[in-house]
């Protein structure tokens, strides 16, 4: 059921938004998901990891899914009038999330770890959509959930792309997703359809490169090659 003030304009924009999230989700489930399932070992590759080593005491390591992360709708780097996902999309998205959570149950929870360097006990809370089996939202994730890839994951993808970063994009703007989300939020329908098509082609190109790279090395996954 749609929110009372849900307009046709919001409906097709939300559909485009969900399509883009689904495309990113499929890339992750085909090629990158095992990084996030083994996040602790992935971040162990960061130069600062030695200094930040810790022992998990309680709960599940949150990876990128900290409390509040799923509800951040900023579009970093876009002009001030396009610096956030369109309010109509946000309202519709939150409405669909509420319905989904009513069916799937709640996420959230807490974790704690002991930092080796100073013995500090660090406590934290997961995003409210985070569950043991992963994110509960599917194609209703927020912008921050699809636009970030950590440095180890990005550097592996750059190897796949032979150092050409025009597909992968920056660490905090994976595949230049903020620009796509700004177009989905504010541009006309033709422009949005063009952008989705373009994004689909870019994603296909990245998937093709990942697939060819793995076949050439007879490897099951990027994660298994580099971690």
Tell me the chain's radius of gyration from C-alpha atoms.
19
Closer to ligand SF4 at the Cβ: 70 or 88?
70
Told to check if 35 binds ligand SF4 by CB under 6 A, we report: yes
Q: How far is the CB of 201 from ligand SF4 (least distance, A)?
A: 24
Closer to ligand SF4 at the Cβ: 64 or 225?
64
Out of 75, 90, 127, 175, the only residue in the binding site for ligand SF4 (CB under 6 A) is: 127
Told to check if 16 binds ligand SF4 by CB under 6 A, we report: no
Out of 20, 69, 157, 196, the only residue in the binding site for ligand SF4 (CB under 6 A) is: 69
Q: How far is the CB of 191 from ligand SF4 (least distance, A)?
A: 27
110-115 and 130-131 beta bridge pairing = unpaired
Which of 181, 167, 149 has the alpha carbon at shortest distance from 77?
181
Closer to ligand SF4 at the Cβ: 39 or 168?
39
Residue 223's H or E segment, with its range, is: helix 222-226
Closer to ligand SF4 at the Cβ: 8 or 55?
55
Told to check if 39 binds ligand SF4 by CB under 6 A, we report: yes
Which of 93, 222, 201, 193 has the alpha carbon at shortest distance from 145?
93
Closer to ligand SF4 at the Cβ: 104 or 187?
104
Q: Can you state the percent helix, strand and coil of the chain, rounding each to 5? A: 55, 10, 35
* Exposure string for 165-192, b = 16+ CB within 10 A, e = fewer: eebbbbeebbbbbbbbbbbbbbeeeeeb
Interacting stretch for ligand SF4, rule CB under 6 A, among 111-119, 134-142, 172-180, 182-190?
134-142
* 135-164 binders of ligand SF4 (CB under 6 A): 135, 137, 141-142, 145, 149-150, 153
130-131 and 134-135 beta bridge pairing = antiparallel
Closer to ligand SF4 at the Cβ: 72 or 121?
72
* Exposure string for 113-132, b = 16+ CB within 10 A, e = fewer: beeeeeeeeeeeebbbbbbe
Rounded CA gap, 214 and 121, in Å? 40
Closer to ligand SF4 at the Cβ: 2 or 72?
72
Told to check if 27 binds ligand SF4 by CB under 6 A, we report: no
Site residues, ligand SF4 (CB under 6 A) = 35-36, 39, 42-43, 63-65, 69-70, 127, 129-130, 135, 137, 141-142, 145, 149-150, 153
């Amino acid at each position: 059921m749609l929110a009372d003030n849900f307009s046709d304009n919001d409906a097709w924009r939300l559909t485009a938004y969900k399509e883009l999230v689904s495309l990113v989700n499929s890339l992750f489930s085909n090629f990158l998901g095992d990084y996030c399932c083994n996040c602790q070992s992935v971040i162990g590759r960061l130069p600062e990891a030695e200094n930040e080593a810790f022992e998990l005491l309680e709960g599940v390591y949150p990876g990128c899914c900290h409390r509040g992360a799923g509800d951040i709708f900023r579009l970093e780097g876009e002009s001030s009038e396009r610096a956030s996902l369109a309010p109509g999309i946000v309202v519709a998205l939150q409405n669909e999330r509420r319905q989904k959570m009513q069916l799937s149950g709640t996420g959230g929870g807490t974790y704690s770890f002991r930092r080796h360097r100073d013995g500090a006990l660090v406590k934290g809370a997961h995003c409210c959509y985070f569950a043991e089996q992963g994110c509960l939202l599917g194609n209703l994730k927020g912008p921050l959930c699809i636009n970030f890839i950590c440095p180890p994951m990005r550097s592996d993808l750059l190897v796949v792309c032979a150092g050409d970063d025009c597909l992968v994009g920056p660490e905090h703007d994976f595949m230049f997703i903020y620009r796509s989300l700004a177009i989905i939020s504010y541009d006309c329908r033709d422009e949005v359809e063009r952008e989705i098509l373009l994004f689909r082609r870019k994603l296909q190109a990245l998937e093709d490169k990942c697939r060819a790279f793995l076949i050439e090395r007879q490897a099951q996954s990027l994660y298994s090659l580099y971690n």
